[in-house]
Amino acid sequence: MKNNFLEATKGNLVVSCQALPGEPLHSSFIMARMSRAAKQAGAAAIRANSVVDIQAIQDEAHLPMIGLAKVDYDDSPVYITPTMKEMRAVASTGCEVVACDVTGRPRPNGEKLADIVTQMRKEFPNTLLMADTDCIDSVKIANDLNFDIIGTTMHGYTPATDGMNIADDDFAYLKEVIKTAQHPVIAEGKVDRPEKAKRCIELGCHAVVVGGAITRPLQIATGFVNALK
């Protein structure tokens, strides 16, 4: 029996509340307050990075959550919940969904994504798995490994997709993802206007994740400053 994340988020907004070390708002307390604002606005769920942030947000917002852990390893470019160790730590918080990189690139310590998925299904049968994909080939990997949710998170953030944006050409790439995916699609990555979020749902996405446009004031202020230059 899986949890009710998919029912709770259908057609709805998920707010990503993340600030890495080095970002102005890096703080679990502040991320929890961000989640409070998202909840008051009517968001259905929160996406968050790191066990401490997830726990702070769970205590504050009591909303379903997509959890992840961004960790850099020397031997791999994969940084979103890259190994079984981070998968287990994130799932142990009790968050409804664990998200991880699904880009076909080698993982740290030679770990194999298929083995990680098998192990997660054994240890956390109620937890949903979200594939953070970058391209159609990765969506097919997510299909083959039976991920519960397919996200567009990494589109534009890998060498193969550098500079691309899911909104280009009236979401041509997103339409392709929706056609290919065998599980619900969550649009994520550079959705920076309410109209774009609405379009993602109209096109058939299950839900949409918005991060920086809501929770990264440095990014938002920079947009205004640059517009006045």
Ligand X SMILES: CC(=O)N[C@H](C=O)[C@@H](O)[C@H](O)[C@H](O)COP(=O)(O)O
Q: Which residues make up the interface to ligand X (CB under 6 A)?
A: 16, 18, 68, 153-154, 157, 188-191, 209-213
Q: Point out the residue whose Cβ comes nearest to ligand X.
A: 211
C-alpha torsion sign, points 91, 93, 94, 98: negative
- Report the nearest approach of ligand X to the CB of residue 68 (Å): 6
User: Nearer Cβ to ligand X, position 118 or 217?
Assistant: 217
Quickly tell me which residue has 């060498």 as its tokens.
159
Considering only CA atoms, give the Rg of the chain. 16
User: Nearer Cβ to ligand X, position 118 or 137?
Assistant: 137
Identify the DSSP state of 145. Answer: T
* 21-23-28-30 Cα dihedral, nearest 10 degrees: 170
User: Nearer Cβ to ligand X, position 101 or 111?
Assistant: 101
- Report the nearest approach of ligand X to the CB of residue 75 (Å): 19
Q: What backbone phi and psi angles, to 5 degrees, belong to 190?
A: 65, 25
User: Nearer Cβ to ligand X, position 127 or 152?
Assistant: 152
- Report the nearest approach of ligand X to the CB of residue 25 (Å): 12
Both tokens of 100, joined, read: 């991880």
